[in-house]
Structure 1
Amino acid sequence: MERKIRRIGNSLGVNLPADMLKEIQLNEGDTVEVELRKDKGEIVLRNKKITPINSDFESRVIDVVEKYFDITRK
């Protein structure tokens, strides 16, 4: 899904679709965890209320899986 970066006051932001936010149980005023994955050009948002593990650990696990396993294999 593509979204445009827009000006929000003196900052820039992205509007997220309501159905996507509902899917991960996010509402206005909720806190999210933001992770920058500079090497991959990614910004990851997580619902802080349901983040089950440390994000650094999760990031490392994802890196290992992507590096050593073909996740498209059935």
Structure 2
Amino acid sequence: MERKIVKVGNSMGIIIPSVYLNELGFSYGDLVDVDYNKELKTLTIRSKETIQDSNYLEQVIKRVVDNYLKEKGL
């Protein structure tokens, strides 16, 4: 879905459709973690709760897999 970058005070932002927020379980005031992948030029938005509650081993495996995919250009 194409979205327009809008001005928010002295910053810029993107409006996320409520259907996506509902699907992700996000609501007003929730803290999120935004990660930028320089190689793929992508942003990933995750719930802070998901990151804190995730199993450490799962985080390590995800990091290894993400690095492997970056190296392969995927």
Query: What's the TM-score bracket when you normalise by the shorter of the two chains?
Result: 0.7 to 0.9
Runs of 4+ in 1 over 6 A off after TM superposition: none
Q: TM-score, normalised by structure 2?
A: 0.73
Residue aligning to 2:37: 37
Distance 1:34 1:65 in 2: 19
Runs (5+) with no aligned partner, structure 1: 68-74
Structure number with higher helix proportion = 2
Distance 2:55 2:8 in 1: 31
In the TM superposition, what are the counterparts of 1:15-54 in structure 2 within 5 Å?
A: 15-51=15-51, 52-53=54-55
Q: CA deviation at 1:65?
A: 5.2
Q: How many residues align?
A: 66
CA RMSD of aligned residues (A): 2.1
Runs (5+) with no aligned partner, structure 2: none
SS of the residue 2:28 aligns to: coil
Distance 1:48 1:35 in 2: 12
Q: TM-score, normalised by structure 1?
A: 0.73
